[in-house]
């Protein structure tokens, strides 16, 4: 029984040479080298392929890893470099709501006199007052503490 029925991996001679070069020379990330070895082991252009379990045991990966790499090879249209390289992010990272202006406003609030009935600012009291201010986004007390600690502010 072949290693892959759904997504057969067929490499050209040029692709095989490139993958062999990646696995044997130069400095490449370990994950890229592992994926290159998997593609070489799954290559059907050289003849019969070992069973999936034998390839997985020989390379020290799981059968699921073999399936995913073969699937990615098929999804990229047989592009070897796109298969062994790291995936690009689909979505950009979410920008932080804490900007320099927010930090400055928060520090100014923490340095001001506490409201009547309180001897000092606490993180939870700051959290409640930040929620009341419309210009500043709602922040958790742990986020407020991290900001104050980063800037060296001490609540006394």
Domain ranges of the chain: 13-84, 100-150
Mean pLDDT of 11-28: 91
CA distances from 93 to 22, 89, 99 (A): 30, 9, 15
Q: 36-59 in b/e burial notation, b at 16+ Cβ within 10 A?
A: bbbbbbbbeeeeebeebeebbeee
CB count within 10 Å of CB 23 equals 18
pTM: 0.59
Task: Reply yes or no on whether the pLDDT at 156 is more than 80.
Answer: no
How far is the C-alpha of 55 from the C-alpha of 135, rounded, in Å? Answer: 59
Tell me the range of 39-53, 77-91, 98-112 where mean pLDDT is highest. Answer: 98-112
Mean pLDDT of 134-152: 92
What is the SS3 assignment for 20?
Answer: helix
Task: Reply yes or no on whether the pLDDT at 123 is more than 60.
Answer: yes
How far is the C-alpha of 146 from the C-alpha of 91, rounded, in Å? Answer: 26
How far is the C-alpha of 46 from the C-alpha of 19, rounded, in Å? Answer: 14
pLDDT class for 127, splitting at 50, 70, 90?
Answer: very high
Task: Reply yes or no on whether the pLDDT at 1 is more than 60.
Answer: no
How far is the C-alpha of 82 from the C-alpha of 66, rounded, in Å? Answer: 16
Task: Enumerate the H helices of the chain as residue ranges.
Answer: 13-24, 30-42, 52-59, 63-75, 80-84, 100-111, 123-132, 141-150
Q: What is the pLDDT of residues 89-104, one digit of tens each?
A: 888 888 888 999 999 9
């Amino acid at each position: 029984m072949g290693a892959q029925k759904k997504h057969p991996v067929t490499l050209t001679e040029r692709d095989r040479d490139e993958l062999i070069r990646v696995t044997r020379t130069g400095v490449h990330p370990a994950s890229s080298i592992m994926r290159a070895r998997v593609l070489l082991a799954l290559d059907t252009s050289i003849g019969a392929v070992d069973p999936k379990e034998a390839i997985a045991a020989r390379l020290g990966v799981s059968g699921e890893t073999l399936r995913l790499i073969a699937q990615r090879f098929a999804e990229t249209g047989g592009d070897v470099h796109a298969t062994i390289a790291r995936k690009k992010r689909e979505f950009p990272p979410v920008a932080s709501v804490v900007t320099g202006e927010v930090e400055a406003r928060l520090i100014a609030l923490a340095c001001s006199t506490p409201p009547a009935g309180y001897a000092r600012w606490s993180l939870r009291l700051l959290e409640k007052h930040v929620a009341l201010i419309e210009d500043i986004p709602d922040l958790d007390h742990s986020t407020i503490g991290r900001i104050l600690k980063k800037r060296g502010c001490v609540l006394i």
